[in-house]
Structure formats: structure tokens, C-alpha cells
Amino acid sequence: MKRSKILGVGSYLPSQIWKNSDLEKMMDTSDEWIQQRTGIRQRHWVDQNSSVCTSDLAIEASKKALENSKIKKDELDMVILATLSPDHEFPGTACFFQAKLNVPGIPALDVRQQCTGFIYGLSIADQFIRTGTYQKILVVGAEVHSKGLNKTPEGRDVGVLFGDGAGAVVLGSCEKSELSSMSHILSTHLHADGQFARELWVQEPSMNHPGDRMDSEYIKTANFYPQMNGKNVFIHAVRRMPEVILEALSKNELNTNQIDLYIFHQANLRINERVAKQLEIPQEKVFNTIDRFGNTTAATIPIGFDEAIKAGKLKPGMLVVSAAFGSGFTWAATVIRW
């Protein structure tokens, strides 16, 4: 039986850095307020006057992942792109991305599971490789949040959280007989509970309205900006992430002490600290990037992989657990032998 392994990782952050102090007058907030509640010090945003979009960031991260994997783009059998900030309403951003990467003909799939999008995408790729359908798949998480945020005092609770960026991995196949200590994905675990979909969402534009999906009256409400019930999101995140981590560990007959590194979704440093405390995970085993990059949603975990490698924290042979929670509500985890 075949399994999948990560052959290469890459990430990309736009060059413009917005520190908390840059947002203070814009959003009537403070560096102290943001850091105390989120752990964020700065984030990267694309040039707000440019036409740079999500697929552009995905391309830059993917070029690095392909280079690091020593795989040529023409060897890819499939591309999967996870995002909540699509280039356009339709077609899917994976198609625009595929055209820019210049790999016509292979399947291009969008994943719209927000903060858990990368793990959902990884799981889909893993299944295609396990069944022998495909041999090499590129999985990308990419976001341009900055152009869709309410950058006024009314939007500060959400606006201070998000950054732009992209991360990518190239997956390849390996034989199960090689697995004892070889790099491979042990398992992925996916969940959702749609009854909480309106706790973190963008309400407009919507087919839910009588008449046109969007008109001038809807625009006046500013409901096309993201809205969040932060308290409820926090409560569910610190419950669901430990649950799915323990599920993943149990599936593989592992315990928390056997894991070398934890790379969680970067929504809020306080969430990750609470999850680690509940599971009695030492903080030195948890790798965070939120202080520098903010929440890049579908991109946080692959960016975390790349940054951990660069920092010398993630090395071949390590057991790694990643978990995420986000809009939907959705939550997921994966265990990887790096």
C-alpha cells in the first residue's frame, strides 16, 4: 500500500510589514491591546494599490516548494489550493493559479475550509496518493486578507488579526514497506459543525436574499466584511483542537510526549497556549509564527513548516502534529513523520 510524504516546502510573505503601531490611528487601537489579546506584533500585507491577489502569492510559495523538493512542475499530477480569499467569485482560484504555474490539463481543486483548509487539502492529496491515483501533488494555502478587511474602528476586532501570505508543500508517494522511520503522513482527521457557521463569516454577497444577491442597500450595511463572535470561537477552539489532537495520537498509538514538534494554526497565541496547557505540552515543543505574520488562515501551517525548518526546529525523522480550528466551524489534525 502506498503512502504520501512531503518532498518539499516553501512559503512567501509580501514585503510590506504593518506593525501594530501602524494600525493604532487607523483602527483606534494600541500595540498593547493587540499583543495582550492575540500575541500579534506585526503582519505582512500586499501593496493595497496593486493588483496582487491570492494566486500570485501561491505561485511564489509553490516555486520554492518545487525547488526544495527537486520536482519539476511538469511532474505534478494535481494542484490543490486552499483559501478563503479567492481571486474572483468564480471560477475557482486553483484554475487561475494553475494557469500562472503553467501546468495545463491536470486537475485543479479549490478547498474552502478556511483555517483548516490546508489540512483538508493535505488529506485529499494523501487519499489520492494512497490509492495510487496520483503520484505527485502540490498543496497550497494562500491568502490576501488585507484587501477585504474593515480597517476602521468598527472593524478592529477582526482587522488586527489577519495577514497575507502563502505556504506550499509537494507530496509524493512511498511504499508502506519503507515506512518504519521514513518520512510520511501517518493520518489526517477532519471535522465540522455547520450550526456555528454564522459565528465567523462574511454575510454578503449572498444568494440568501430575495432578488439580486447584492445591491447598494447591502453595501451600505458593510456586511461584506468578516464578522466574528470572538468569545465563542475561542471557547470552541480550545475544546476542539485538543480533542482532534488526541484522536490523531490515539489512531497512531502515540502520546503527546512522543511528538517532537507541534505546529498549530496561528489564529491567536492565547488559543495555542491554552491548547498546549490542556495537553501538558511544553512550550518549547510548540512552534508559533503569529507574532510576526498574524493569521494567514489556510497558509499558517505550511508557512509554519517552512519557518520551523529555517529555524532548525523541524528536522528529518521528527514526529510532527498540526491542528487547526476555524470558520464553519471546522477543525482538523494531522500526524507526520518528517
Residues acting as catalytic residues: 115, 265, 295
Distance CA 332, CA 248 (A): 9
Angle, CA of 177, 183 and 185, to the nearest 5°: 90
Distance CA 164, CA 150 (A): 15
Q: Which residue has the cell 508557512?
A: 303
Distance CA 140, CA 240 (A): 24
Distance CA 301, CA 230 (A): 21
Q: Which DSSP string do the residues of 208-234 spell out, in sequence order?
A: TSSS-S--HHHHHTTTTS-EE-HHHHH
Distance CA 176, CA 184 (A): 9
Asked if 140 contacts 82 with a C-beta cutoff of 8 angstroms, the reply is: yes
What does the block give as the cell for 270? 492565547
Give the residue ranges of DSSP H helices in 18-73: 20-27, 31-38, 54-69
Asked if 76 contacts 106 with a C-beta cutoff of 8 angstroms, the reply is: yes
- Which residue, 314, 316, 324, 259, is CA-closest to 290? 324
Size of the chain, expressed as the number of residues it contains: 338
Q: Which residue has the cell 447598494?
A: 216
